[in-house]
Amino acid sequence: MQTRYLLAAVVLFFTQHANAGLYVEPLVGYTQANTEYTAKTAYGGASEKSAITGLVYGGELGWNFGMLRIGANVEMGNQEVKAESTGTTTKWSTSSALLMVAYKFPKDIIGYVGIGTGSSVDDQTPKTTVTGTVLKAGGSHEFVNHVAVSVEWIVYNWDESTTEGSSAIKFADYYEKYSSNGVQASLRFPFEIGGK
């Protein structure tokens, strides 16, 4: 009986790794997100909601382990942030680097999650930079050879804000409540080397 289990495990291992190989996946997408915050009473207690929109571009590089894939995702973009109360718009340059883990389902469908770091710099003078953690979860479908569409949910956990010439501000110290999340839709161009 133990021999059967061992044989089954060996067969499963080699089946899963038979299609192992490198993958590369350039992408271009569009983000629609929202930010909402309330400052602590000591800092005025002001509240604001903002809409975030913009293009992103980048790619993913990693390794297929049969149905499992692990890779690094790097994205950059230019986004507009429009404040709901005033209608004023600021532009931000964004970047992120995430570790991605995905599973390949039948019908060329892939589900994935990722975690990493991100930063965003505005176009004002002096400039302000925010940094923190980025989380995402989503899925993609390769509907024609080397062309896939993906939709993902993204959460931005900003930790710190630094304005040129001033000390850094910790979000947890300044804000009573802060949330920033949204949806990103992308076109991806997947290529695999050493396996399908």
| Residue pLDDT, tens place only, 164-178 | 999 999 999 999 989
Mean pLDDT of 131-143: 97
Q: What is 112-144 written as a DSSP string?
A: EEEEEEEEEEESSSS-EEEEEEEEEEEEEEEEE
Name the CATH code of domain 20-193 (choices 1.20.140.10, 2.40.160.20, 2.60.120.560, 3.40.50.300): 2.40.160.20
Cα(87)–Cα(82) distance, integer angstroms: 6
Q: What is the pLDDT of residues 22-62, one digit of tens each?
A: 999 999 999 999 999 999 998 899 999 999 999 999 999 99
**Residue 35 and residue 52 in contact, taking contact as beta carbons nearer than 8 Å:** yes
* Domain ranges across the chain: 20-193
CA distances from 1 to 6, 13, 79 (A): 9, 19, 60
CB hemisphere CA count around 117 (13 angstroms):
5
